[in-house]
Amino acid sequence: MFYYNRASSGSRWFASYDRVGVGPPRPPNLKVTFEYPRRVSGYVNDGGIGLEGVSISIDYQNRSTLTDPNGYYELIVPTMWEGNITANYGIWVFEPNNIFCGKGLFDKSDQNFTAIPPVKITGYITDHKEDPIEGVLVSANNEGSSSNTDPNGYYETLVPYGWSGTVTPNKTEWGFTPMQRSYDTLVSDQTSQDYSGIQPKISGYVTDRDGAGVEGVLVSADIGGTSSQTDSTGYYEVTVPYGWSGMVTVSKTGWHMNPGSLTYTNVVADQSNQNYNGFQPRISGYVTDRDGVGVEGAVVSVDNGSSVITDTSGFYKITLPYSYSGNVTVTMAGHHISPEIRSYSEITEDIINENYSSYQPRISGYVTGRNDVGLNGVSVVADSVSSGITDVNGYYEII
């Protein structure tokens, strides 16, 4: 037996003979087989336009090629090969899915594919103020693509033609409504697939004992939350990450807050009416004269510069910083106040009946006639500072 073997471009030639029996040599039984290469070719078109760069492969020795700018491809295969031709271009879909090529001696052309581009899913992601959220990762499962929102909150995700699956937005510290969107057998682009980003807000009021808003209170959320100060109505609003657990604290110099903080777990929705009460102690009392009559217009002041004036009944009420230490002073022109000053230390609660006495000296006497009879209605004046009028007995009194 002998063989002649040659391989070239996928072909092989061989010859063989068998010597049968014994005895003198006989002409050989010669068997010759020739196997020639052949071409498999075609086009990949997208809407009638050739698609460049499509990977065309066959299940023979891992052979593949890429389509040219006209969408044309060509592969060399053996005569006796049969199998599938497959096109691949990312998440594009092809019709048919593959082409079966049988054995044969001749080239096979027009092994064409129609390319179907991916379906686009697009939309915007904004916060509760409709401001865009940049950097949200929007992902489609089941071989779909992913993309990040741009500075305008816009995203564009590609999925294969006929795709079914879900699209999910994701960004650290954010939640989204809806959490995801589901699709079934998409064959056309989907626009306006919008999402709303959620970062929960914790809000409320800080008020004093009279229900008035306390302005300038610092409200702080820890562990990634924001801080803000109350406005003129005492309102505050802080933002926390989605799913946040932590503590919100309130503080303002000279104030005691109740409660001083609130604790939260897994916050996924806005929390409103999270209110606090601010407290500052008060000192109150009366300023009266020797007859127990209230002295109006006395000035009651403290070392920090605040002051009040007594009303028509002589009553005063002055608010002090929490834990105040210092003096309270009462003054009024032409009056001697006793005590003039009171000292306090670390005041944390109200103090009432802190009363003061006002003293003014008096000049008194009688105005009488020649018979020592009192004269009624006589005006008695002390240098235009004070005056009085005698009564029926001629008695007067000026302060």
Per-residue pLDDT of 340-393, as tens digits, reads 999 999 999 999 999 999 998 888 888 888 888 888 888 888 776 678 898 888
- Cβ neighbours, 10 Å, residue 152: 12
**pLDDT tens by residue, 342-354:** 999 999 999 999 9
Class of the domain covering 201-278: mainly beta
What is the per-residue pLDDT across 188-217, written as a single tens digit (0 to 9) for each?
A: 999 999 999 999 999 999 999 999 999 999
| Per-residue model confidence (pLDDT) at position 224 | 94
Given this model, what pLDDT does residue 41 score? 97
User: What is the average per-residue pLDDT within 98-122?
Assistant: 95
Give residue-wise pLDDT tens across range 169-178.
999 999 999 9
- pLDDT digit string (tens) for 298-314? 999 999 889 999 999 99
pTM (2 decimals)? Answer: 0.69
Q: How confident is the model at residue 270 (pLDDT cuts 50, 70, 90)?
A: very high
Report, as an integer, the average pLDDT of 64-84. 95
Average predicted confidence (pLDDT) for the chain: 91
Asked, as a colleague might, if the bond just before 96 is cis with ω within 30 of 0, I would say: yes
Domain ranges of the chain: 6-35, 37-116, 119-198, 201-278, 282-359, 363-398
CATH architecture observed for domain 37-116: Sandwich (2.60)
Q: C-alpha angle with apex 361: 360 to 364, nearest 5 degrees?
A: 130
Residue with tokens 């581009």: 117
Helices (H), ranges, 207-283: none
Domains 119-198 and 282-359 are alike in CATH topology? yes
**Distance (Å, rounded) from C-alpha 177 to C-alpha 342?**
62
Give the count of beta carbons closer than 10 Å to the beta carbon of residue 129. Answer: 5
The CATH architecture one would assign to domain 119-198 is: Sandwich (2.60)
Contact 209, 234 (CB under 8 A): no
Fold of domain 282-359: Immunoglobulin-like (2.60.40)
